[in-house]
């Protein structure tokens, strides 16, 4: 009898926890980003060095995947080309990220409609 009581209490607890719905939770909002920020030359040099190190490391990882047979050389070349283009775009923008608010708007709208 004692086992049955403990089992029922556990089941009720699980059901109650499963039924909790965060109704009052606010949906995630976009991070506020200043649109007109420009970095000093010293800051740009520092960011350039960091991004260069980051992209070089990423390329080395891709090369290892090719070496281990995880991806093809064609796929690796495509990924490295993308990294090069991304680096150039960052450089053109003075190493300030351009946060496109509408880039994922379609997904965000779909997600809020489902709720």
Domain boundaries, the chain: 36-115
| pLDDT digit string, tens, across residues 38-49 | 899 999 999 999
pLDDT for the residue 98: 78
Whether 48 and 91 have beta carbons less than 8 Å apart is answered as yes
32 has pLDDT over 70: no
The least confident of 21-25, 34-38, 77-81 is 21-25
pLDDT for the residue 38: 87
| pLDDT digit string, tens, across residues 62-80 | 999 999 999 999 999 999 9
First to last CA, the chain: 42
Kindly state the percentage of the chain with pLDDT values over 90: 48
Predicted TM-score of the model (pTM)? 0.56
């Amino acid at each position: 009898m004692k086992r049955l009581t403990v089992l029922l209490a556990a089941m009720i607890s699980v059901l109650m926890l499963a039924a909790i719905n965060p109704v009052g939770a606010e949906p995630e909002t976009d991070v506020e980003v200043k649109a007109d920020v420009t970095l000093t030359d010293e800051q740009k040099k520092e960011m350039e060095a960091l991004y260069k190190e980051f992209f070089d490391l990423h390329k080395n990882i891709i090369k290892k995947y090719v070496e281990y047979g995880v991806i093809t050389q064609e796929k690796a070349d495509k990924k490295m080309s993308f990294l090069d283009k991304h680096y150039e775009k960052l450089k053109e923008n003075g190493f300030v990220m351009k946060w496109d608010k509408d880039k994922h708007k379609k997904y965000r709208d779909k997600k809020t409609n489902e709720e």
